[in-house]
Amino acid sequence: MPLSLRYFIILIVLLSTTLAESEAQRRRKPRIWEGFSVSGRIGANYFYGDLVDDGRTHVSLGFNADKEINTYLALRASIMTGKMSGKQIAGDKSDPDLIYAYFDNFYTELNAGATFKPLNLFMGYFRQRSFNPYVIGQVGMIYYGASEYYGNGNDQGVPDGTLWREKNGISPSVAGGLGLSYWINSQWSINVEAIGTLPFSDELDGHSEWSSPDGTVYQTDANDFYYTTTVGITFLIDDSRWKNEPKYNRKAYLKTRSQYRSSSKKNLKSISKKRRKRR
């Protein structure tokens, strides 16, 4: 065999090997996506402040991203936005239609924190566990823009609906709560979360002080507070590197086998329908 032909064959073999390895690397997802999930959320917030004898509930929505760092802890980043409102009944509150003042606001919160799954720690890691409770802790910032209005029972003699004051700003906050996830399949899960948030501000309702008829100004109780309860659907971008505890291998096998069987049946039905249409 001529020397040039040998070199040519060696070059082809090397190129084939290199291209195969690069193709495999291209198909392999970066490790950053291992155990990375995203969730869309919708629910309601419940505001507790100065002007909340009634009408404290409004819709909130947002999303969060989670990244597993071990079998029972995950880092989290989230954004939530929505409206808040409330009204304070005048005087001795004997007449619920007599309103002293009311407010509405728009808020957006950005948070970073972590989630802790106690069952994974104390009972062992099991990715296919049907129900998995978790604890949430986070810190963040909240932007708010609030408007406060005089009600029909105010003691200042001002017409009902007159703008009293407007407040807006950014405040740091801390939050904590509980969640419960339900495993659907290897990529999808449904979860419910209830989180309490304490912003370091008393102006989310625009009401941090009030005046008596003689003009004396009084400060209200410090700091507002609100709960957010949401339902979310989570998509797991890529499986984490963590493996199920050996005692769960049989359960995981049976669960995923039934899942793949059902998906295979759906695929077969889809293929047969396409074939019938072609005929």
22, 31, 52, 158, 201 from 195: Cα distances, Å: 45, 30, 19, 38, 18
Tokens 């200042």 belong to 156
Tokens 């899942």 belong to 259
Region of poorest pLDDT, from 13-27, 149-163, 206-220, 240-254: 13-27
Which amino acid is residue 199, in one-letter code? P
Size (the chain), residues: 279
Q: How far apart are CA 269 and CA 105, in angstroms?
A: 51
- pLDDT band, residue 130 (cuts 50/70/90): very high
Residues 6+ apart with CB under 8 A from 42: 59, 60, 61, 230, 231, 232
- The 8 Å CB, 24+ separation contacts for 201-204 are 201/142, 201/144, 201/169, 201/171, 202/49, 202/50, 203/144, 203/146, 203/167, 203/169, 204/47, 204/49, 204/84, 204/105, 204/107, 204/142, 204/144, 204/146
DSSP 202: S
Coil, strand, or helix at residue 265? helix
Mean pLDDT of 19-48: 74
- Residue 168 above 60 pLDDT? yes
Span 62-103, pLDDT tens digits: 999 999 999 999 999 999 999 998 888 887 777 888 888 888
| Structural contact between residues 82 and 107, judged by C-beta atoms closer than 8 angstroms | yes
Q: How far apart are CA 65 and CA 74, in angstroms?
A: 10
Q: How far apart are CA 80 and CA 63, in angstroms?
A: 7
| Structural contact between residues 102 and 55, judged by C-beta atoms closer than 8 angstroms | yes
CA dihedral for 121, 127, 130, 132, sign (positive or negative):
positive
What is the pTM assigned to this prediction? 0.77
Region of poorest pLDDT, from 88-102, 138-152, 198-212, 219-233: 198-212
The closest alpha carbon to 100, from 112, 91, 110, 113, belongs to 91
- Residue 210 above 80 pLDDT? no
- pLDDT band, residue 279 (cuts 50/70/90): low
- Per the prediction, the chain carries an average pLDDT of 81
Q: How far apart are CA 30 and CA 20, in angstroms?
A: 18
Q: Between residues 258 and 148, which one has the greater pLDDT?
A: 148
Mean pLDDT of 201-211: 73
Mean pLDDT of 104-131: 95
- Residue 146 above 80 pLDDT? yes
- The 8 Å CB, 24+ separation contacts for 251-256 are 251/126, 251/128, 252/126, 252/127, 252/128, 255/128, 256/128, 256/186
Sequence-ordered strand ranges (E) for 151-258: 163-183, 188-199, 209-211, 217-219, 225-236
Coil, strand, or helix at residue 127? coil
